Amino acid sequence: MRVLFLSFYYEPDLCAGSFRNTPLVKKMSELLSDGDEIVVITSQPNRYKSYKVGAPEYEDLGKIKIHRINITTHNSGMKDQAKSFFHYYKNALVIAKEYSFDMVYASSSRLFTAYLGSKLANKNKVPFYIDVRDIFVDTMDNILENKLLRALVIPMLKYIEKKTFNRATHINLISEGFHSYFQKKFPKPAYSFFSHGIDDVFLEDAKKGTEKIKTKRTFQFVYAGNIGTGQGLERIIPQVAKELGGSYRFDIYGDGGAKVKLLETIEELSIKNVRIHNPVSRQVLLDIYKETDFLFLHLNSFKAFEKVLPSKLFEYGAYNVPIIAGVDGYAKKFIEQNLENTLLFEPCNYNQLIRLLKDYKYQTKERTTFKQQFKRDVINHEMATSILKLVKD
C-alpha cells in the first residue's frame, strides 16, 4: 500500500497545517504494515518571511518519504501566495509521476491543494480523502474588497470547488460549523469531524507552569500566529491598548499580510504598550505562554468566520490562564461548551472587550476535561484509522 499525502505546510514550518499534518503522518505510519509507505509532498518552510529554517528536499524515514518543494520567498499577499501555490502545484505533479498510489489524502486550507489531490486521485483511480480546515470560497468571497475582482474570481473558485469535492470519497471537517455548507453542496461523500487537538508538548509544558497569584501591576497579553486580514488585529488591539493604558501590555508574535496595517494603526494612535515580535520557535513559545497573564485570539468580523474553529484555542486551552476570544458563530458556541475562564466578545467590538476587562477579577483555572477530550494523539489515532480504512475497504 502506498498513500500520497499532500500538505502545503509540514514540519519544521510554523502554522496550523504543519502542526496538524506532521503528527498525523507519524500516527498513520505506525498503523502501516511492513512494505507500506506514505509519500508526503509538501513545501520548504515558507509560512513567514521573517522566520527561516532549513529542511532537506527529500527525506527517507522508512515508511515515510518526504518531498519538499522549494517555494520562493513571499510576503503573504494574495498575489505572492498564488504564485507559491502554482509553483507547488506544478512540481508536485512531476514528483507524483514517480509513484503509483492506492489512495490520496489532501489537507486543504487552500482549495488548490485539494484540487491537486482530486486530479491525482482521479488519474490513479483511487479513493480520495480531504481534510477541510477552511472554506476557501466562502473566505475569499468575504475578504476580496474589489467588486470586479470578486466577480471574476469567485465563479472560477466555485467551479474548482465543485470539481474537487465531487471527486472526494471522504471529507473530514475540522469544524462542525462547516457541515451545512458541504452537506448541501456535496451529499455523496462520507463525512467525519476530527477537530484540532492539543499536542503533547503543550500538555507537558502546561504542567510545569506555576499557579499565578496576580500581584504585579502590569497585565501581559500574548497573541502568537498569523497577522492577516482574517485576524483583523489592527481593528482591536491598538484601540484596546490605548484605552487601557500602561497597566496592560500586548505582545504579538507573528507575521503576515496585515502586519504593516497593524504597525501603521499603532503609530497613528501613538500606542506605547503594544510590541510586535517576529515568529518564534515552538520551544520559545512555550516559555512565553507560561509567563503571560492572558492568551488572546481574534477573528475579523466576516460572515465566513462564523463557521470556523481556530486551532489556536487548543494550544491556549492547555494552560491555566484566562483566554480572551473575539469570535462568533460556531467558535463561540464551542468555547461556551468547552473552555472555562474565557472572556468572549464580539469581533472588532473593542468597547465591549474594554468593559469586560475592567470588570474581570483575575483568576486561573485548569481545564482538565478539555485537555482529556482533545488530546491530539487520541484524535490522530482515530483519524489515521479512518484514512487507512479507505484503502482496506
pLDDT tens figures, 151-185: 999 999 999 999 999 999 999 999 999 999 999 99
Residue 258 sits in the same domain as residue 339:
yes
What mean pLDDT comes out for the span 362-378?
95
- Count up the domains in the chain and report the number: 2
Please indicate, yes or no, whether residues 193 and 44 belong to a single structural domain of this protein: yes
- 265 and 348 assigned to the same domain: yes
Among candidate residues 174, 141, 154, the one with its CA nearest the CA of residue 303 = 141
Residue 103 pLDDT > 60, yes or no? yes
Q: What is the pLDDT of residue 214?
A: 52
CB 250 within 8 A of CB 275: yes
Distance in angstroms (rounded) separating the CA atoms of residues 223 and 297: 7
Please indicate, yes or no, whether residues 8 and 71 belong to a single structural domain of this protein.
yes
Q: Which pLDDT band, with edges at 50, 70 and 90, does 51 fall under? A: low
- Indicate the SS3 state at residue 206: helix
Assess whether 379 and 310 both reside in one domain.
Answer: no
Q: Do residues 210 and 272 share a domain?
A: yes
Query: 332 with 323: CB under 8 angstroms?
Result: no
Q: What's the pLDDT tens digit per position in 333-344?
A: 999 999 999 999
Pairwise pLDDT comparison (210 vs 54), residue with the higher score: 54
Higher-confidence position of 218 and 387: 387
Full domain range(s) for residue 123: 2-197+375-392
Q: Please indicate, yes or no, whether residues 141 and 247 belong to a single structural domain of this protein.
A: no
Cis peptide before 12 (omega within 30 of 0): yes
> Which one, of 309, 47, 27, lies nearest residue 172 by Cα?
309
For a pLDDT cut of 90, what percent of the chain falls above it? 82
Within 13 Å of residue 52, how many CA atoms lie on the same side as its CB?
Answer: 7
pLDDT digits (tens, 9 = 90+) for 312-321: 999 999 999 9
pLDDT at 110 over 90: no
Do 25 and 90 fall into the same domain? yes
Amino acid at 210: T
Q: Distance between CA atoms of 325 and 219, rounded to whole angstroms? A: 16
Q: Answer yes or no: do 255 and 128 share one domain.
A: no
pLDDT tens, residue by residue, 241-283: 999 998 999 999 999 989 999 999 999 999 999 999 999 988 8
What band does 48 get if pLDDT is binned at 50, 70 and 90? low
Sequence-separated (6 or more) residues with CB below 8 Å from residue 386: 170, 172, 192, 194
**Domain check: are 270 and 139 in the same one?**
no
Q: Which residues pair with 105 in a beta bridge?
A: 5, 129
Residues in the chain, overall count:
393
pLDDT at 81: 77
d(CA 288, CA 223): 10
Task: Read off the C-alpha cell for 301.
Answer: 468580523
- Let me know: does 112 contact 89? Beta carbons within 8 Å: yes
Does residue 129 share a domain with residue 12? Answer: yes
Percentage, residues of the chain above pLDDT 70: 95
256 torsion bin: left (phi>0), alpha (psi -120 to 50), beta (else): left
pLDDT of the residue at 282 = 87
Residues 362, 219 share a domain: yes
Q: What is the CATH number of the domain that holds 39?
A: 3.40.50.2000
pTM of the model: 0.91
